[in-house]
Amino acid sequence: MPIPTKPIPESILRAAARIKTVADHQVFNPLGMTTSTFRILNLLAQSEDGRRTPGFLMKFVGGTKSNMSQRLNFLAKNKLVKRVEPKAGEDNRKVFIMLTSAGKTLVSDVTQKITKAKIRLENYFTTEEIANHFAFIEKLNQFFEENEKQIPDLFR
């Protein structure tokens, strides 16, 4: 396999920016939300018990407590999530966030849209190219997870 002519970081940044732009313009902006806001909904949809703390969501989505609070208020105002009190025996200071039925429907609808686009996109690539892509992305994500605290040092 030939060595890429462009530096890999440039290629990654260009692809990431394009993917985010397409996702924002075609999927999330028409819904009045951002990719980060949808990530919150998706994390809730994937949770085993259907609920997460704001702190857990912030860890995976990023941002500040204030920013997370604004996002959750937006989602609650639009009746996509609700705040629930802890179960008996749990820390009473913890508030949990859950999807509402409208939130579940929205996640399902967006997931169907993305799946449809994914199928069309996959037809553009060979099976080997797709396998190599996923192997690379998984390893890149693993790098970020294992080196999260050192990442700012990479850019100094």
pLDDT tens digit sequence for 44-81: 999 988 889 998 999 888 888 899 999 999 999 999 99
Q: What CATH number did the domain enclosing 60 receive? A: 1.10.10.10
The closest alpha carbon to 97, from 64, 69, 61, belongs to 69
Burial classification of residue 142, based on how many CB atoms lie within 10 Å of its CB (0-12 exposed, 13-18 middle, 19 or more buried): exposed
Average of per-residue pLDDT values in the chain: 86
What total number of domains does the chain contain? 1
pLDDT above 80: residue 28? yes
Q: Which domain holds residue 41?
A: 8-124
Q: Which of 6-10, 40-44, 103-107, 149-153 has the lowest mean pLDDT?
A: 6-10
